């Protein structure tokens, strides 16, 4: 067993458990777009970032690929994590505003403005379909081609693939395929139909304490942020 | 060639080589590094050979095709012995004169000497040129002195003696301790202590272990690794064999980019020659140590210079980085313990073992030991490769060795570390060059690129250039890097077009910070540096673009305009004839006008006008 600190809690998990699995086990939700329990971790969407290490010497890592280590200090909802996560979600919305999954994430993480011009892409290159086709369907009909900004998912040489059995698993797992709901602001790039409240404690503390308002931090009425 | 079967035989071989050679025999060392080859060094060599044959004196003179001498600006270069006479910018038509005057009669040809641009004085000897005088050449010491395709040259100069010393009675643990004590840090940019890396690989229980030499140098304006491999490949081989002995490896790889054909060729020849002498392969020097090196050619992806992507590429996979939560020294190539070091790091190893860690650690600063080779490029008089001790100030490097900025312009900033680094402004030029100080200033040591920028460079444009580079070279697997760079580039593009706002500038800064924080590999984690450092030191320039819609350096085309001063223009029609867009109107001997709608702001009229009548605003 590996013992470590997760959001201030002393927890222990089996050796080889990733931080994402550990957080899931202890009921802490970490958003992801490229992770699925049935597929190998990929670490591409960067939404599952968590802060590891002591304040001042900490860094962000993707929790889906990072395995728990003895004595590690992990914070899943610190100010630094939330700042990065919100900006990434903002970029996701601008990239692919038609996806329900992304719009829901935006509401959940209180992303209320998008400062980038919309691109209306169909694909966010999370690679779920590629891994699904390879690992679960054993077909390897699709893969990534090209590099950087020209990267896309395709069959070899963009020809109809003989390995594809038209099983539809790639469509099933795609987070961008499901269209967004017809919310009150249908024309807007940002749906925000079911907007949650932002955790108020981030104004007082570096870590999220809870999602209630007023929360413990507010009740304490602390002016200073600890650990800074 | 006879194989060396005992370490002591190396010294015997060295004596034989020295005896065979006449130290007083005149020689001409022609620099045939890639830079001088491009300026026509091969033609010089072939015309030398032809003329010597014609005069029937080819036996009396050694024509040596050496690696880079470093002073690429003045190429092709040659050094004539005796006398260490240094000729620069030689072309094939000068050769006959050189043979007749300098070689046969010992006269000096004034025209080919290097002229000090500051004092105007002509300098005869290589070591008296200010560019060389202030350098401290350690790893680069033999570049230019030896013929890279001749192993005998390297052995004559004392090569492989560090390996001999190690095999004669230093234990692997002692070698690791020596490297650790020297304070050598990774020269590829990260600056990780080499000794600690070796130690953890030495302690790893898994086997086999692998060594990798990273020669996938891709930073714009960087060429020191390639030139070191071209000019002195044996120093890298010797370093790797010592490394293999220390950590217990049998197989090494060198990952060198395919764009360095000469480095690949010379290194390949060197490996063959080392094998023939028994300095590489089975049972090295009869010591029982077996180690061989394979050459892996890179396909030209910048990201493959990142260690985990490089390892993936050697394994035959797509060159994409993976999350480095386990060090390569535990699970690297084929999931086995691997030591991956830069070319310059490997080349430092024989020097440390020969002179001792204590001697080595005296060079440099508290935290950064030894010397560093920089590729000095950009707006600087003496372009080339310079090797200096760590801790030298940027001012000494750029002004004293580099000779300052041409045409009397003012220096604005120095860009270090390539696309991962940042710009250090003029007022910080006294900053000592070491890993920590450069990082504190918002840049980084990097692989050794150093681009000098003068007042005609627009800092927003510089940031945009590096973003365009990293956007092109990002592997694209991680969202923050792929999309983050694209968005940063979009914003800098808006700024250079004067279509931005201060809110967007804040967004750019926030984006750069988040991309640095959130990305997986070194490329993403550093790609925000050019943006952050230019905003930090040159925010007024960003604001001028945004608020006044002006580019202070006059670079961003959308924000400048050309007009003709009606008083100064005498109607010579020179600009009118040159304008590719036919955007200039006017009759002969009457002042002209530029039609702004047609003008593409190419600046040809400005260059053409002899009366300074064209004004750039």
Helix axes B261-276, B233-247, angle to 10 degrees: 60
Give B24's pLDDT tier (boundaries 50, 70, 90).
confident
Chain A residues whose beta carbon lies within 8 Å of the beta carbon of residue B503: 115
Q: What is the pLDDT of residue B183?
A: 92
Parallel, antiparallel or unpaired: strands B251-257 and B289-298 = parallel
Same domain membership, residue B335 and residue B246? yes
The pLDDT-based confidence of B154 (bands split at 50, 70, 90) is very high
Q: Are residues B296 and B381 in the same domain?
A: no
Question: In CATH, what number is assigned to the domain containing residue A168?
Answer: 3.30.70.20
| Type and span of the H or E element at B116 | none
A111 located within any domain: no
Containing structural domain, residue A210: 197-228
In the prediction, which pLDDT does B412 show? 93
Decide which of B308, B337, B361 is a domain's last residue: B361
Q: Is residue A122 part of a domain?
A: no
What residues 473-502 of chain B have any CB closer than 8 A to a CB of chain A? 473-480, 482-484, 486-487, 490
The answer to the question of residue A110 being in a domain is no
Task: State whether A62 and B510 contact (CB < 8 Å).
Answer: no
Residue of A91, A96, A120 to mutate for B, most B C-beta atoms under 10 A: A91
Q: Between B318, B480, B483, which is nearest A95 by CB?
A: B483
Please report residues of B whose CB lies closer than 8 A to that of A66: 323, 325
Cβ atoms of B24 and B42 closer than 8 Å: no
Distance, in Å, from the CA atom of B219 to the CA atom of B302, rounded to the nearest integer, reads: 8
Identify the three-state secondary structure at position B205. Answer: coil
A95 touches chain B (CB under 8 A): yes
Phi, psi of B185 (to 5 degrees): -120, 155
> Would residue A71 count as lying in a domain?
yes
Whether B482 and B610 map to the same domain: the answer is no
**Does a structural domain hold residue B254?**
yes
Q: Is A44 within 8 Å of B479 when comparing Cβ atoms?
A: yes
Let me know if residue A103 belongs to a domain: no
Q: Please indicate, yes or no, if residue A178 is contained in any of the structural domains.
A: no
| A64 shares a domain with A14 | yes
Same domain, A163 and A213: no
Find the residue in A nearest to B478 (Cα): A44
Q: Judge: A144–B477 Cβ closer than 8 Å, yes or no.
A: yes
Do the chains contact at A43 and B475, CB–CB below 8 Å? no
Looking at the structure, tell me whether residues B484 and B503 fall in a common domain.
yes
Q: Does A115 touch chain B (CB under 8 A)?
A: yes
Interface contact flag, A149 B476, Cβ < 8 Å:
yes
Higher pLDDT, A195 or B462: B462
Q: Final residue of a domain: which of B500, B516, B548?
A: B548
**Token output for B105:** 């009669």
Q: Which helix (H) or strand (E) holds B399?
A: none
What is the pLDDT at residue B424? 93
pLDDT digits (tens, 9 = 90+) for B231-272: 999 999 999 999 999 999 999 999 999 999 999 999 999 999
- B167 and B246 belong to one structural domain: yes
Nearest Cα to B287, choosing from B207, B202, B168, B176?
Answer: B168
At B312-361, the pLDDT tens digits run: 999 998 888 887 777 888 889 999 999 999 999 999 999 999 999 999 99
A203 and A169 within one domain: no
Asked if B323's CB is within 8 angstroms of A149's CB, the reply is no
Residues B188 and B274 occupy one common structural domain? yes
**CATH label of the domain that carries residue B575:** 3.30.70.20
Is B427 at the interface with chain A, CB within 8 A?
Answer: no
| DSSP H or E stretch at residue A51 | strand A49-52
Q: Are B419 and B520 found together in one domain? A: no
Residue B532 is encoded by which pair of tokens? Answer: 């952050």
Measure in Å the smallest separation between the Cα of A219 and chain B Cα atoms: 31
Judge: A46–B519 Cβ closer than 8 Å, yes or no: yes
**Is pLDDT at B496 greater than 50 in this prediction?**
yes
Average pLDDT over residues B429-451: 89
Substitution target in A17, A84, A113 with the highest count of B β-carbons within 10 Å is A84
User: Structure tokens of B542?
Assistant: 């960003």
Q: Is the ipTM of this complex over 0.90?
A: no
| B20 in any annotated domain | no
B positions 191-210 inside 8 Å of A (CB): none
For chain A, give the mean pLDDT. 86
Out of B425, B454, B483, a domain closes at B454
Number of domains in chain B: 5
Q: Best of B322, B324, B480 to disrupt the A interface by mutation (most A CBs within 10 Å)?
A: B480
Phi, psi of B7 (to 5 degrees): -55, -35
Domain-ending residue, one of A61, A77, A93: A77
Return the CATH number at B380.
Answer: 3.10.20.600
Cα distance between residue A220 and residue B303, in whole Å: 49
Q: How close, in Å, is residue A65 to chain B by CA atoms?
A: 7
Q: Within a domain: residue A22?
A: yes
Q: Is residue B143 part of a domain?
A: no
- Most confident by average pLDDT, B4-8, B350-354, B401-405: B350-354
What are the pLDDT digits (tens) for B280-315? 999 999 889 999 999 999 888 899 989 999 999 999
Are B294 and B356 within one domain? Answer: yes
Contact A87 B511 (CB under 8 A): yes
Helices (H), B406-478: 435-440, 459-473
Give B-chain residues touching A148 at CB under 8 angstroms.
Answer: 471-476, 482
Q: Helix-strand-coil percent breakdown of chain B, rounded to 5? A: 45, 15, 40
Q: What is the rounded (10 degree) CA torsion for B596, B599, B602, B603?
A: -50
B221 and B335 share one domain: yes
Q: Is residue B556 part of a domain?
A: no
Both B491 and B572 in one domain: the answer is no
Query: What is the rounded average pLDDT of the residues B94-121?
Result: 85
Name the minimum distance, in Å, from the CA of B443 to any CA of chain A. 19
Mind listing the pLDDT tens digit for each residue in A186-211? Answer: 667 888 777 766 666 677 677 776 55
Residue with the bigger pLDDT between B104 and A69: it is A69
- Residue A8 falls within a domain, yes or no? yes
Mean pLDDT of A168-178: 90
Whether residue B384 sits in one domain with residue B410: yes
Taking the C-alpha atoms of residue B346 and residue B233, their distance in angstroms, rounded to an integer, is 11
Q: What is the pLDDT of residues A113-152, one digit of tens each?
A: 999 999 988 899 999 999 999 999 999 999 999 888 889 9
Q: What is the average pLDDT score of chain B? A: 90
Q: What pLDDT, in 10s, does the model give residues A81-124? A: 999 999 999 999 999 988 889 998 998 888 889 999 999 888 99
- Within 13 Å and on the Cβ side, how many CA atoms surround B586? 24
Band of residue B189 on the pLDDT scale cut at 50, 70, 90: confident
B484 vs chain A: nearest CA distance in angstroms? 8
Alpha-carbon span B177 to B353, nearest angstrom: 11
- The verdict on residue B58 lying in a domain is yes
Residues B272 and B252 in one domain: yes
Q: What is the band of A54 on the pLDDT scale with cuts at 50, 70, 90? A: confident
Written as six digits, the tokens of A149 are 């900004």
Q: Taking the CA of residue B105 as centre, how many other CA atoms within 13 Å lie in the half-sphere pointing to its CB?
A: 8
pLDDT band at A228 (very low <50, low <70, confident <90, very high): very low
CA distances from A162 to A137, A141, A144, A154, B368 (A): 14, 8, 17, 13, 57
pLDDT at B507 over 90: yes
The pair of structure tokens assigned to B267 is 């290194």
Q: B479 is in which domain, residue-wise?
A: 459-548
Strand locations in B320-365 (E): 338-342
Is residue B32 in a domain? Answer: yes
How many domains in chain A? 3
Residue from B304, B477, B503, B526 to probe the interface with A (highest A Cβ count within 10 Å): B477
User: Cβ contact (<8 Å) for B482 and A65?
Assistant: no
pTM (predicted TM-score)? 0.89
Judge: B478–A116 Cβ closer than 8 Å, yes or no.
no
| CATH code (residue B199) | 3.40.50.11540
With respect to residue B2, please indicate whether it lies within any of the assigned structural domains. Answer: no
pLDDT at A46: 94
Nearest chain A Cα distance for residue B474, angstroms: 5
- A65/B504 CB distance under 8 A: no
Q: pLDDT band at residue B62, thresholds of 50, 70 and 90?
A: confident
Q: Please give the interface size between A and B, counted as residue pairs whose CB atoms are below 8 Å apart.
A: 88
Residue B17 lies in a domain: no
């Amino acid at each position: 067993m590996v013992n470590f600190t997760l959001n201030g809690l002393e927890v222990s998990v089996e050796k080889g458990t990733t931080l994402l699995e550990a957080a899931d086990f202890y009921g802490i939700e970490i958003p992801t777009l490229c992770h699925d329990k049935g597929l190998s971790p990929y670490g591409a969407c960067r939404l599952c970032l968590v802060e590891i290490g002591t304040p001042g010497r900490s860094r962000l890592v993707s929790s889906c690929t990072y395995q728990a280590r003895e004595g590690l200090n992990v914070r899943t909802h610190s100010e630094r994590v939330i700042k990065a996560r919100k900006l990434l979600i903002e970029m996701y919305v601008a990239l692919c505003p038609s996806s329900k999954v992304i719009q829901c994430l935006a509401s959940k993480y209180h992303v209320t403005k998008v400062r980038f011009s919309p691109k209306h892409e169909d694909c966010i290159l999370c690679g779920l379909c590629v891994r699904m086709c390879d690992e679960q369907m054993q077909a390897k009909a699709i893969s990534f081609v090209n590099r950087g900004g020209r990267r896309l998912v395709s069959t070899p040489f963009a020809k109809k693939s003989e390995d594809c059995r038209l099983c539809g698993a790639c469509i099933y797992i795609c987070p961008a395929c499901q269209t967004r709901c017809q919310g009150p602001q249908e024309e807007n790039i940002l749906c925000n139909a079911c907007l949650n409240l932002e955790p108020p404690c981030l104004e007082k503390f570096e870590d999220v304490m809870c999602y209630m308002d007023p929360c413990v931090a507010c009740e304490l009425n602390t002016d200073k942020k600890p650990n800074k | 060639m006879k194989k060396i079967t005992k370490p002591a035989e190396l010294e015997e071989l060295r004596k034989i080589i020295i005896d065979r050679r006449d130290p007083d025999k005149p020689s001409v060392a022609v620099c045939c590094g890639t830079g001088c080859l491009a300026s026509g060094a091969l033609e010089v060599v072939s015309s030398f050979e032809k003329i010597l044959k014609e005069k029937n004196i080819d036996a009396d003179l050694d024509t040596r095709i050496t690696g880079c001498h470093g002073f690429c600006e003045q190429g092709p270069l040659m050094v004539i012995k005796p006398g260490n006479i240094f000729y620069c910018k030689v072309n094939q038509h000068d050769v006959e004169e050189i043979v007749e005057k300098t070689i046969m009669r010992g006269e000096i040809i004034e025209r080919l000497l290097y002229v000090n641009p500051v004092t105007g004085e002509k300098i005869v000897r290589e070591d008296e040129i200010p560019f060389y005088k202030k350098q401290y050449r350690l790893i680069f010491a033999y570049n230019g002195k030896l013929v890279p395709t001749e192993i005998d040259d390297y052995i004559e100069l004392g090569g492989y003696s560090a390996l001999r010393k190690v095999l004669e009675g230093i234990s692997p643990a002692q070698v690791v301790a020596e490297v650790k004590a020297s304070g050598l840090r990774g020269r590829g940019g990260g600056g990780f202590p080499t000794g600690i890396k070796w130690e953890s690989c030495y302690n790893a229980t898994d086997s086999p272990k692998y060594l990798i030499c990273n020669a996938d140098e891709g930073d714009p304006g960087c060429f020191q690794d390639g030139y070191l491999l071209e000019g002195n490949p044996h120093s890298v081989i010797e370093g790797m064999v010592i490394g293999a002995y220390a950590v217990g490896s049998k197989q090494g790889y060198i990952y060198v980019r395919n764009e360095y054909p000469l480095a690949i060729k010379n290194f390949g020849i060197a490996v063959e020659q080392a094998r023939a002498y028994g300095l590489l392969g089975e049972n090295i020097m009869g010591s029982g140590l077996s180690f061989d090196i394979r050459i892996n050619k890179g396909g030209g992806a910048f990201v493959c210079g990142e260690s985990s992507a490089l390892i993936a590429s050697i394994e035959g996979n797509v060159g994409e980085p993976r999350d480095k939560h386990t060090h390569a020294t535990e699970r690297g190539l084929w999931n086995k313990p691997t030591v991956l070091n830069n070319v310059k790091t490997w080349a430092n190893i024989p020097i440390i073992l020969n002179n001792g860690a204590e001697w080595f650690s005296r060079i440099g600063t508290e935290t950064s030991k030894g010397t560093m080779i920089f590729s000095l490029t950009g707006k600087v008089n003496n372009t080339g490769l310079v090797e200096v001790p760590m801790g030298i100030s940027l001012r000494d490097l750029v002004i004293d060795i580099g000779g300052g900025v041409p045409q009397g312009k003012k220096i604005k900033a120095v860009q270090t570390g390539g696309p991962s680094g940042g710009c250090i402004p003029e007022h910080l030029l006294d900053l000592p060059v070491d890993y920590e100080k450069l990082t504190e200033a918002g840049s980084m040591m990097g692989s050794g690129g150093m681009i000098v920028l003068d007042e005609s460079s627009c800092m927003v444009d510089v940031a945009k250039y590096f973003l365009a580079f990293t956007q092109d070279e990002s592997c694209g697997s991680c969202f923050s890097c792929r999309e983050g760079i694209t968005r940063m580039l979009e914003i800098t593009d808006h700024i250079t077009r004067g279509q931005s706002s201060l809110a967007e500038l804040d967004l750019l800064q926030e984006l750069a910070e988040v991309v640095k924080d959130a990305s997986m590999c070194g490329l993403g984690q550093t790609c925000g540096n050019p943006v952050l450092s230019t905003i930090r030191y040159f925010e007024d320039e960003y604001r001028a673009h945004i608020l006044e819609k002006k580019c202070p350096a006059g670079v961003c085309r959308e924000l400048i305009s050309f007009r003709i001063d009606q008083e100064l223009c005498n109607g010579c029609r020179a600009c009118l004839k040159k304008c590719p867009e036919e955007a200039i109107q006017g009759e002969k001997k009457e002042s002209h006008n530029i039609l702004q709608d047609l003008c593409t702001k190419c600046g040809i009229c400005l260059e053409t006008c002899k009366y300074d009548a064209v004004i750039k605003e």
